Amino acid sequence: MAAEAIGSDVKQATIATLQYEIVAEYAHDIRAFTQGLEIRDGLLYESAGGYGHSTLSATPLRGPAPTTVRRAPAEVFLEGLTWIKDQLYVLTWREGAVFVLDSKLMPLGQLPLAGEGWGVTHYTAPDGERLLLSDGSDQLKVLEPSNLKLLRSIPVRADGAPLEQINELEFAHQQIYANLWHSDRIAVIDPGNGMVRAWLPLGDLKRRFAKPVSWREDEHVLNGIAYDEVSGHFFVTGKCWPKLFELKVSRVPASTARK
């Protein structure tokens, strides 16, 4: 679904609240300052940030196969990631680069990125694949994957106000699911007009695990969304959380224009 610019005559729809059911819980590495999650062929791909601590990993969701881990150079702070076909795109925060890797997490190339990188996902437009990138502002950037050329920007609004601090992204059910930095809820954004159609409140998840001794309430927040097309479930975690959660999430209802 192509994302188009907001029209001046678009009215804010009623923002719904989604419900969820916890399907399963998995152990998660408390050293991982989670930036991005993706599921592909039964593997959970995760990018974790931090200068001197950034890593990429591929972990089987089920089964005995070992986890593959790649460490980034100390001067690189990794951010979100997304797959387009057989290529994994991984953002950097302020290093002005996007790394492109293969399924073994081996480098294929590097693309220049203007500005900061926070979260990234992708969708299929009528004329090809598109990247959707967040940079902490209220704007989502639509980029050409081959060269990161900016095609358009999508201003994001909730109840008519700009929605800032947009972080990790996932595209599912023709909607953009977005973490908000320092927030325990996920925004579900209409890619056609940039309006928030629903909230997914997940504050209760942090009550389901004991906090590690290294826990920092201000930094170790909800972040990381992966959608599994096979099960139809979402996988979510947080920065340095000891748990990864598999969720069955209700669908966004048809919107009703607010008068």
Taking only the tens place, the pLDDT of each residue in 25-64 is: 999 999 999 999 999 999 999 999 999 999 999 999 887 7
Residue 67 and residue 76 in contact, taking contact as beta carbons nearer than 8 Å:
no
The answer, yes or no, to whether residue 5 has pLDDT greater than 70, is: no
* Whole-angstrom distance, CA of residue 247 vs CA of residue 33: 21
pTM summary value: 0.93
* Whole-angstrom distance, CA of residue 191 vs CA of residue 202: 22
Name which of 63, 70, 22, 71 is nearest 43 in CA terms.
63
**Tokens 């959970």 correspond to what residue?**
44
Residue 132 and residue 80 in contact, taking contact as beta carbons nearer than 8 Å:
no
| CATH label, 16-249, candidates 2.120.10.30, 3.40.190.10, 3.40.50.300, 3.90.25.10 | 2.120.10.30
Burial class (CB in 10 A: 0-12, 13-18, 19+), 40: middle
Q: What pLDDT is recorded for position 136?
A: 97
Residue 104: C-alpha distances to residues 61, 82, 131, 132, 196 (Å):
16, 14, 21, 24, 36
Percentage of residues in the chain with pLDDT exceeding 70? 93
**Tokens 């994302």 correspond to what residue?**
3
> Average pLDDT of 180-207?
97
Return the SS3 of 256. coil
Contacting residues for 147 by C-beta, under 8 A, at least 6 apart: 111
